[in-house]
A = this chain, B = another copy of it.
């Protein structure tokens, strides 16, 4: 069974996708980490910043700046938890949601372009399998 390594095939693909995403993210004035945060918050609310960092695989000390920017731009709310004043409750704002959705739409349009190389059935299968692997 002679095949290239998984990583050897996936890595360039990821590189390509990221390169496609960059201009889109810049167009909406969000960083990659920022977009990652918006996505995490839109999908599932998170109570602490450390938990958020963990969820998106970021460093808890390095995520602060990202949160500052997002808050500054009005894309997230960061309110102290009245029950535990050490904790900042994180929530995406309506505007944050709009930005996130707009970015995601544009990104997925680009992604479909990349997948055009595949037969329609393969494209569907690829996405389905990938989601399975991802939600594992």
| A117-B133, A129-B126 given; A104·B12 CB < 8 A | no
Kindly report how many copies of this chain are found in the complex they form together: 2
B12, A7: Cβ atoms under 8 Å?
A: no
| A3-B127, A133-B117 given; A10·B9 CB < 8 A | no
CB distance from A68 to the nearest CB of B (A): 23
| A10-B10, A13-B10, A125-B125 given; A117·B134 CB < 8 A | no
Sort chain A's interface into a size bin.
35 or more
CA distance A132 to B114 in the complex (A): 12
Please tell me if A136 contacts chain B, counting CB pairs below 8 Å. Answer: yes
B11, A14: Cβ atoms under 8 Å?
A: yes
Chain A residues in the interface with B (C-beta under 8 A): 1, 3-15, 17-18, 21, 36, 39, 57, 104, 107-108, 111, 114-115, 117-118, 122, 125-127, 129-134, 136
> Can you list 29 pairs linking A and B with CB atoms under 8 Å apart?
A1-B108, A3-B127, A4-B131, A4-B134, A5-B21, A5-B39, A5-B107, A6-B17, A6-B111, A6-B114, A6-B127, A7-B14, A7-B17, A7-B111, A8-B36, A8-B39, A9-B130, A9-B131, A9-B134, A10-B14, A12-B57, A13-B133, A117-B133, A117-B136, A118-B132, A118-B133, A122-B125, A122-B129, A126-B129
